[in-house]
């Protein structure tokens, strides 16, 4: 008997048990599935549109045609100073793979160092996503990616653009990136710019987040976060935010910290976000939306 | 048949494969349960887009693999293909699980291929589709895994 056959035979003979905890989690998940799917997702609009073996790459450039120019003229104007347009759409379908990426660009009446920096960064990010897609997708794959953008805030004082990246089918991963501009100066701002130098905003925010996570776990046993002392995993804990952690202002002007999937909790928790309420933070805030 | 019932039956029939694959990639049963849970939710959500229901099994494993990789990326546990680590045994020291004990000592990329090929009978093409690699790459990994397993099994016999 050659090694291949020997390995096959051994594998057949071995019955590796599934631990009770794993089995319980599977059963629990199945038990809670809705009879009708309720989680809304962008992928729905692609259903039925995935054609076999058709490969199409479309780059739509501004003013590349009269029709395109007309379309661009009707894109949303988001404010007197900053506006966002989709400058390029990358679409590809190949077998079961599908990708659709809208690349936005911020334009402004005058010069804005922030807009220029963010536009370059978005361009690089999109290139990276396309590279990843081209390396990962293949004819037997199930790789769907959808990248869209949204203006979160646009006032006389503050501008925020969010890029949503949904990896569909293959993993169900959702990622968000936020880009902010202080409108009066036109400069790009990050979390660390919101507070005076020397103010320990990292500790204040991290402590509030950990407190909120504990409260949520106490209030709802189906919520679970990776916190020291509460996690059974023993391998990873959320302890502190990144100095330039992503954030945005909600419509009440409160700071919201969104986390990516798996960043602070198991994937089943999705992408949790927390609205900060510590008064001290707002007393130290240098910018208002 | 009711779609939810059909889906539940499929998941239950594939529970063992899901556990072995997730353990093969993640090496941690709690992580494996997280990945499986999220994979089930994603699969259920995306089920209408799966036109050929007979492809459900490799499709589900592909979703699970991506959940596992997502967890690895977030938690920076990725083990390089070139490194061969002695990972902690995945399921105690049961002498009846001689091959499994040896598989546990392979790196995660080789483990996943061995689990799918030897334990669950997936073809090279299917494994390529599940792990997002080419069929040729699957063969290379299987060949490497066999070399290591030969040494590991000889040592334990």
Concatenating the DSSP letter of every residue in A66-103 gives HHHHHHHHTSPP--SSEEEEEEEEEEEEETTEEEEEEE
Where does chain A hold its CATH 3.90.640.20 domain(s)? 193-284
Q: Indicate if the pLDDT at residue A42 is higher than 80.
A: no
In chain B, residues with a C-beta closer than 8 Å to the C-beta of A29 are 36-37, 40-41
Classify A274 as helix, strand or coil. Answer: strand
Helix segments in B27-90, DSSP class H: 29-46, 56-75
In this prediction, residue A229 carries a pLDDT of: 66
ipTM of the complex: 0.86
pLDDT at A167 over 60: yes
- The confidence band for A276, taking pLDDT boundaries of 50, 70 and 90, is very high
What mean pLDDT do residues A95-101 have? 78
Contact A172 B38 (CB under 8 A): yes
| Gap from A235 CA to chain B (nearest CA, Å) | 9
Mean pLDDT over all residues of chain B?
81
Residue range A12-30: mean pLDDT, rounded: 89
pLDDT band at B79 (very low <50, low <70, confident <90, very high): very low
* pLDDT of A87 above 90: no
CA–CA separation, A111 and A127 (whole Å): 25
Out of B34, B66, B125, the one facing A171 most closely (by C-beta) is: B66
Instruction: Determine the average pLDDT of the residues in A131-155.
Output: 76
A3, A11, A33 member nearest B44 (Cβ): A33
- What are the start-end ranges of the H helices in chain B? 3-13, 15-26, 29-46, 56-75, 98-104, 108-114, 124-131, 135-156
CATH of domain A193-284: 3.90.640.20
With CB atoms and an 8 Å threshold, state whether B66 touches A39.
no
Alpha carbon separation from A17 to B11, B92, B100, B124, B156 (Å, rounded): 16, 11, 11, 25, 21
Of residues A272 and A82, more confidently modeled: A272
**What are the residues whose beta carbons fall under 8 Å from the beta carbon of A82, sequence distance 6 or more?**
A106, A107, A108, A112, A115, A154, A159, A181, A183
pLDDT, residue B140, reads 93
- What residue of B is the nearest CA neighbor of A36? B4
- Dig out the tokens for B6 from the structure: 């059909």
Q: Answer yes or no: is pLDDT of A146 > 70.
A: yes
Considering only A52-56, A147-151, B74-78, B97-101, which range has the smallest mean pLDDT? Answer: A52-56
Q: What is the pLDDT of residue A142?
A: 62
Name chain A contacts of B36, Cβ cutoff 8 Å: 22, 25-26, 29
pLDDT at A269: 77
The DSSP code for A16 is: P
Residue A236 to residue B20, Cβ atoms within 8 A:
no
For the stretch B86-120, pLDDT in tens is 344 444 445 567 888 888 888 878 999 999 999 99
**Which CATH number is A42-189 given?**
3.30.565.40
CA B86 vs CA B78, B99, B103, B106: distances in Å: 14, 14, 10, 7
Q: CB-CB: which of B77, B98, B150 is closest to A10?
A: B98
Q: Give the residue extent of every domain in chain B.
A: 3-156
At B27 the pLDDT is 79
Among B5, B17, B34, residue whose Cα is nearest residue A30: B5
Per the structure block, which two tokens stand in for A259?
Answer: 């986390």
**CB-count burial class (<10 Å; 0-12, 13-18, 19+) for A280:** exposed
| CB spacing of A33 vs B46 below 8 angstroms | no
pLDDT of residue A271 exceeding 70, the answer is yes
What is the CATH number that goes with domain B3-156?
Answer: 1.20.140.160
pLDDT band at A133 (very low <50, low <70, confident <90, very high): confident
Rounded distance between C-alpha atoms, residue B37 and residue A38, angstroms = 17
């Amino acid at each position: 008997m050659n090694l291949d056959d020997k390995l096959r035979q051994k594998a057949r003979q071995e019955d590796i048990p599934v631990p009770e905890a794993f089995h319980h989690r599977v059963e629990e998940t199945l038990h809670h599935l809705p009879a009708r799917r309720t989680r809304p997702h962008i992928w729905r609009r692609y259903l039925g549109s995935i054609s076999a073996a058709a490969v199409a790459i479309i780059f739509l450039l501004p003013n590349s045609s009269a029709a395109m120019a007309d379309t661009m003229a009707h894109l949303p104007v988001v404010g007197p100073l900053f506006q966002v347009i989709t400058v390029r759409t990358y679409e590809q379908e190949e077998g079961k793979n599908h990708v659709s990426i809208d690349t936005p660009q911020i334009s402004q009446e005058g010069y804005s160092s922030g807009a220029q920096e963010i536009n370059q960064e978005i361009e690089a990010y999109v290139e990276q996503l396309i590279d990843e897609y081209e390396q990962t997708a293949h004819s037997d794959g199930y790789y769907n990616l959808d990248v869209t953008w949204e203006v979160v805030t646009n006032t006389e004082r503050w501008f925020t653009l969010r890029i949503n990246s949904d990896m569909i089918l293959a993993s169900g991963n959702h990622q968000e990136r936020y880009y902010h501009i202080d409108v009066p100066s036109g400069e790009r701002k990050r979390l660390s710019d919101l507070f005076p130098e020397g103010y320990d905003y990292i500790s204040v925010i991290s402590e509030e987040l950990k407190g909120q996570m504990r409260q949520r776990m106490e209030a709802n046993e189906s919520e679970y976060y990776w916190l020291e002392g509460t996690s059974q995993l023993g391998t990873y804990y959320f302890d502190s935010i990144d100095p330039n952690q992503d954030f945005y202002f909600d419509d009440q002007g409160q700071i919201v910290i969104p986390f990516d999937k798996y960043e602070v909790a198991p994937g089943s928790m999705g992408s949790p976000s927390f609205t900060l309420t510590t008064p001290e933070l707002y007393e130290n805030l240098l910018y208002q939306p | 048949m009711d779609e939810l019932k059909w889906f539940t039956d499929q998941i239950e029939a594939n529970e063992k494969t899901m556990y072995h694959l997730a353990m093969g990639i993640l090496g941690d049963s709690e992580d494996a349960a997280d990945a499986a849970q999220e994979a089930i939710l994603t699969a259920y959500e995306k089920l209408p887009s799966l036109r050929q229901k007979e492809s459900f099994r490799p499709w589900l494993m592909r979703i699970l693999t991506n959940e596992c990789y997502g967890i690895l990326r977030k938690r920076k546990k990725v083990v390089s293909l070139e490194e061969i680590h002695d990972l902690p045994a995945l399921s105690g020291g049961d002498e009846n699980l001689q091959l499994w004990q040896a598989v546990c000592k392979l790196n995660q990329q080789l483990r996943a291929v061995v689990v799918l090929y030897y334990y669950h009978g997936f073809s090279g093409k299917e494994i390529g589709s599940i792990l997002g690699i080419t069929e040729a790459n699957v063969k290379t990994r299987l060949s490497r895994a066999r070399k290591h397993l030969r040494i590991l099994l000889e040592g334990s016999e």
